[in-house]
Structure 1
Amino acid sequence: MSTVDKPPRMLVLWCPDWPAVAACLADGAPLHLPAAVFHANRVVACTAVARVAGIRRGMRRRDAQSRCPELQVFGPDEDRDARLFEPVAAAVEELVVGVEVVRPGLVAVPADGASGYFGGELRLAELLAEHVSHQVECQIGIADGLFAATLAAHRSRIVDRDRAADFLAPLPVDELDQPTADRAELVDLLRRLGLRTLGAFADLAERDVAARFGRAGLIAHRLARGLDERPPHRRRPPPELTVTKAFDPPLDRVDAAAFMARTLAERFHGGLARHGLACTRLGIYATTENGEELSRVWRCAEPLTPQGIADRVRWQFEGWLRAAPGERPSAGVERLRLAPEETVEGHSLQLGLWQEGLRGLSDETTERAGRALVRVQGLLGPDSVFTAVLDGGRGPAERVRLVPWGDPRTPQSPPDVPWPGRLPAPSPATVYAQPLPARVLDASGAEVHITRRRELSAPPHRVSVGDGPPREVLDWAGPWLVDAHWWTPGGDGVRTRVQAVLAGEPETAVLLTRVGGSSPHWTVEGVYD
């Protein structure tokens, strides 16, 4: 390894299971009881006590609760995690300068200067662990480069200088899949190819890795070799790329700060993009009305998108404004400055403004559309612009959820898993917020109902919608049945969906739904184009 390509010596302080620990702290729940955080009914984090009971990441909620009935269940909340981690980061900063928050639960600091001051790396780790342990349990690791130092922290290790590659070699390739960089697909592919350790992956030629796995594989290959994510060709950002904004009245509410962060993030990101740069270390600096100076640096594994910048500003304000009495600022923030502490070439940026749906458009078009939506929000308010997210579910209304522009577009339930009774494609072009009342009659004029065998009593012959006249059914398909909320008192019971084409000028294709329960009835849930 050349001196130029040598990664810096880093110390990482890691708080194990931080999302679960933060959830317990926020709820006032005791940490000696098993607890887990769930997303989409799967475990994303759990406490050590829960792991002793057999709980593991990725486990279904039903399985987890069957293994541990007393399990405390929490939902994910990034703002909560960031807010409660700010005192931990501040405690680290009391001893060591240059603290960088990688994510809530993990901070990194340069090790060389601090270890020389405190008398060695071991002494530095001992003092830091003792200083932070009165707040939360933590583990510390020191190694060359952030990735190796993070894995060293998971094992409470101090890796000798220039031995990061040897330390990483026997570790499983699964370690590449970190919360700050989702590499699950790459890891799965490497395992299927027989590359089960970081050392086996690192032994591949860089040219072959680039040809087979692309840019994402090349970054992972550098990490497996004990190098940094990117070669050290980072540029010193011009001072004019710093974005500053004054507030009158001062900001003293997190929701106002979150709304402001979206617009400011667009400006900051746009200025970098015009210089062909992207930010990998974001400095957030604030001045309160009483002259207090607040600062924090966030380190990012990948170049920041506008959404990533806005998220970190919001998380930081959560930590500042909702800290415990005596630790929070004495006044609102009247001046905020965003500074690119470290940048890389702009081609490293993976634009994701729209997440899905506009892949055919150019990056410039995508950015311009995103800025336009942010401007509309600035004029009409944060809840004036929505985009659709595809969720899991059986009916069309369940599968599409509208989220305000700039909010996380994470599905609440997995859309790609089997959903028995799901309506087949295509979905109706129009889905009514309030379904229209309808009557579905058979050839004898009697209303079509559901038999005990879960079948239609007769083929649909005529349909009337609302107060309109009956229309003949030209064709129909179905039924698709879902037994909905049968376990809750007053549940809807069996929902039956039928697609039907109605005669008329023009002919109309509708989605008919019979809602069970105490008063069964038919509705028109949607209309097809």
Structure 2
Amino acid sequence: MVAAAAEEQLPADLPVAVHDARGVVAASAPARALGVRRGMRRRSAQEVCPELLLVPADTGRDVRAFEPLVQACEHLVADLEVVRPGMVLFAAGGPARYSGGEEALAEALVGVVADETGAECQIGVAEGYLTAVLAAREGVVVDRGGAREFLAGRDVRTLLHAATTREASAAWTDLVELLRRLGLHTLGDVAALRASDMAARFGELGSQAHRLASGFDARRPVIHRPDPDITTSATLDPPAERIDTAAFTARRLAEEMQNRLMRRGAVCARLQVSARATTGRELVRTWRIDGALTASELTDRVRWQLEGWLGGRSGQTPSAPLARIELVAREVSPAGAAQDGLWGRRARGEVQAGRAALRVQGLIGPERVLVPVPEGGRSPRDRVRTVVWGDESTGLRSTDAPWPGQIPPPYPSLVPLEPRPAAVLDRAGEPVVVDGRGHLSGEPAVLHVPSGPPSGPSGTAASSPGRSGGRKPATLGWLRTGAYPITAFAGPWPVTERWWGQRRRGAWAQVGTDPGGVVLLCFREGTWWVEGVHD
């Protein structure tokens, strides 16, 4: 939120919210005072606060703004770990003894950050990762041995603060919802269970949840000597002045490191990013890595860090070209067997296609090269999502789940990025709707597709960030603006979604037109929407 306001030069008294494809991820104090909350859909936030200014989420922007604060903290503390933009971790024992105590260290950090950057920060001291995060949010020091008592009465949703990536956030959200349905509403309820029962029922994530709720780190400490560090490096000739050039080299180093980790069957807990500028100054930053290291996670962190350095936002050197980049995987430990695919290495054509895609990303930007990924859902559009080439190509929703009310195959051959509005009329020209019992108000006779830009049920324009890129929506084959006589009608089939929260009810229907073909429709919020076309 602070980074967005600073980069956009927004007044402090203006209600502002940062959003991504899922909804609001952060809100300013004036926006929160008017009822805007994290997790709201954009339409809901704008209904609560019509004058709300929406700013798209940008992790690179957050890293660039956060880098000066990290450099300021390094005046007092060494060996910082960046968990995510806006949060750092470090062992407080040594710096606290040097500064005269934990509270004195916290006061010194607040002062140096304010003097160097003009920003405010909050410091928390506690045992255990989750306890430290909550202590920092409240600006308190939790006494030794008091972590479990400090966490006991807190809502189980607090576990969501343990997530550092989008994939991890989705997994933690699913676990928290399941725990609440089972009657475990507080962290104390989770900590009271046996660790073996949590691991047997919920797997590794359940084991981590039990440790966090008990006031420990998510993973048990490693009692054996870790494997040697893994290092990959590259010399940039000519030196890189632009972030796209440096990011292209960083992606190659990331893939090389991931391959070496996979061949060794290992993961790392910390990633050290080092860069040497043409001025001779060397920059070093350490990132905390949760779970198995992927090339996309590694590349993102390196790219974010390079953006902060090359931008020179802190006013410190070097805002100079980079001559060398080095990545070091630290705290390497076994992660099970890892090997090539069952049928051997990737084919030559596949490797060449991957290199071509990386090159295109370097020319037009990583967010402009997307690939489809199948996932679970009820509508045809929900069954596929697009991800950036090189990112983790796994669906966020399981395809094996039952998904009651889903559309059976065959699926439409053309699916819009956002549903297109339509109207179903009877022979008298009156609108045909679906009532609360799932009955039609009349006999469908005409399908009318209005002109103008399409908008989804949420009331937002169909240009989806990261999908359409602001271009005009593609036509749906033969379906154009106009009226089509209905020759066949099937449905409606009622469907209820999200029964546990903001319930969403609707009904599916299929219509056959002449001329044309078959159109898949959905009736929701008093309006018919085109969900797909059989071409």
TM-score by length of 1: 0.71
Select 1:39's aligned residue among 5, 12, 20.
Answer: 20
Q: Is the aligned partner of 1:30 residue 2:11?
A: yes
Q: Distance in 1 between matches of 2:264 and 2:485?
A: 56
> Computing the radius of gyration over CA atoms, which structure comes out larger, 1 or 2?
1
1:426 match: 410
- The within-5 A match list for 1:180-195 is 180=164, 181-182=168-169, 183-195=172-184
The residue identity in structure 1 corresponding to 2:155 is: P
Q: 2:75 is matched with which residue: 94, 97, 100? A: 94
- Number of equivalenced pairs: 435
One of 390, 396, 403 as aligned partner of 1:406: 390
The alignment yields a C-alpha RMSD, in angstroms, of: 4.2
SS of structure 2 residue aligned to 1:142: coil
Residue of structure 2 equivalent to 1:68: 49
8 Å contact kept, 1:283–1:298: yes
**Is the 2:266–2:332 contact (alpha carbons within 8 Å) kept by the matching residues of 1?**
yes
Instruction: Show the counterpart of 2:144.
Output: 161
Determine the structure 2 residue equivalent to 1:281. 270
Q: Is the 8 A contact 1:391 1:400 kept in 2?
A: yes
Distance 1:42 1:83 in 2: 23
SS at match of 2:183: coil
Q: Aligned runs of 1:147-226 on 2, under 5 Å?
A: 147-178=130-161, 179-180=163-164, 181-182=168-169, 183-226=172-215
Residue in structure 1 matching 2:360, options 358, 376, 383: 383
For 1:302 and 1:370, the matched residues in 2 are separated by 28
SS in 2 for 1:64: helix
Residue type at the aligned position of 1:161: R
User: Aligned residue for 2:499?
Assistant: none
- Report how far residue 451 of structure 1 moved: 8.4
Q: Distance in 2 between matches of 1:254 and 1:388?
A: 26
Pairing 1:143–2:126 present: yes
The answer to whether the Cα contact below 8 Å between 1:283 and 1:340 also exists between their aligned partners in 2 is yes
In 1, are the aligned partners of 2:129 and 2:212 still within 8 Å (CA)? Answer: no
CA contact (8 A) 2:268 2:332 kept: yes
Whole-Å separation in 2 of the counterparts to 1:344 and 1:244: 21
Letter in 1 for 2:81: E
Q: For the Cα contact (< 8 Å) 1:278–1:348, is it kept in 2?
A: no
Query: How many Å apart are 1:500 and its aligned residue?
Result: 10
* Structure 2 counterparts to residues 68-467 of structure 1, below 5 A: 68-134=49-115, 135-178=118-161, 179-180=163-164, 181-182=168-169, 183-233=172-222, 235-239=225-229, 241-324=230-313, 326-347=315-336, 364=341, 376-379=353-356, 381-383=358-360, 386-389=370-373, 404-406=388-390, 425-429=409-413, 452-453=429-430
Question: Measured at CA, do residues 431 and 494 of structure 1 come closer, stay the same or move farther in structure 2, by a change above 3 Å?
Answer: closer
Greater shift, 273-282 or 111-120, is seen at 273-282
- Equivalent position amino acid for 2:249 in 1: M
Counterpart CA distance in 1 for 2:176 and 2:139 is 24
The answer to whether the 8 A contact 1:279-1:342 is kept is yes
In the alignment, residue 410 of structure 2 is paired with which amino acid? P
CA contact (8 A) 2:374 2:394 kept: no
Counterparts of 2:484 and 2:141, CA distance in 1:
62
Deviation digits for residues 2-31 of structure 1, max 9, x if unmatched?
Answer: xxxxxxxxxxxxxxxxxx221111111123
Contact 2:240–2:323 at 8 Å: present in 1 too?
yes
Offset of 1:48 from its aligned partner?
Answer: 2.1
Identity of aligned residues (%): 42
Letter in 2 for 1:63: S
Structure 1 residues 495 and 235, CA gap change in structure 2 (3 angstroms): farther
Aligned-residue offset at 1:75: 0.8
Tell me: CA distance 1:192–1:526, structure 2 relative to 1, closer, same or farther (3 Å). Answer: closer
What is the distance in 1 between the residues matched to 2:102 and 2:150?
17
Question: Secondary structure of 1:143's match?
Answer: coil
Q: Distance in 2 between matches of 1:151 and 1:348?
A: 36
Deviations 1:104-162 (A, max 9, x none): 01111110010010000000001101221353222110011222111111111101112
Cα distance in 2 for partners of 1:370, 1:510 equals 42
Deviation, structure 1 residue 208: 1.0
**Equivalent pair of 2:82/2:288 in contact (CA under 8 Å):** yes
Q: 5+ residue gaps in structure 2?
A: 362-368, 400-405, 418-425, 433-443, 456-460, 462-471, 489-514, 520-531
1:235–1:342 Cα contact (<8 Å) kept: no
1:370 and 1:95 map into 2 onto residues whose CA distance is: 51
CA distance in 2, matches of 1:275, 1:38: 39
Paired letter, 2:157: D
Matched residue of 2:372: which SS?
Answer: strand
Q: Match for 2:360: what amino acid?
A: D
Alpha-carbon distance in 1 for matches of 2:55, 2:293: 28
Any conservation in 1 of the 2:234–2:249 contact (CA below 8 Å)? Answer: no
**CA displacement, residues 208-249 of structure 1 (integer Å, 9 cap, x when unaligned):** 11111111101111111111111112643324x211111111
CA contact (8 A) 2:267 2:334 kept: yes
Secondary structure of the 2:124 match is strand
* Matched-pair contact (CA < 8 Å) for 2:265–2:337: no
Give the 3-state SS of the residue equivalent to 2:37 in structure 1: coil
Q: CA deviation at 1:302?
A: 2.5
| Counterpart contact for 1:173–1:198, Cα < 8 Å | yes
The Cα shift of 1:345 comes to 2.4
Counterpart CA distance in 2 for 1:371 and 1:273 is: 20
Q: How far apart, CA to CA, are the structure 1 residues paired with 2:255 and 2:343?
A: 13
How far 1:377 moved relative to its partner? 3.7
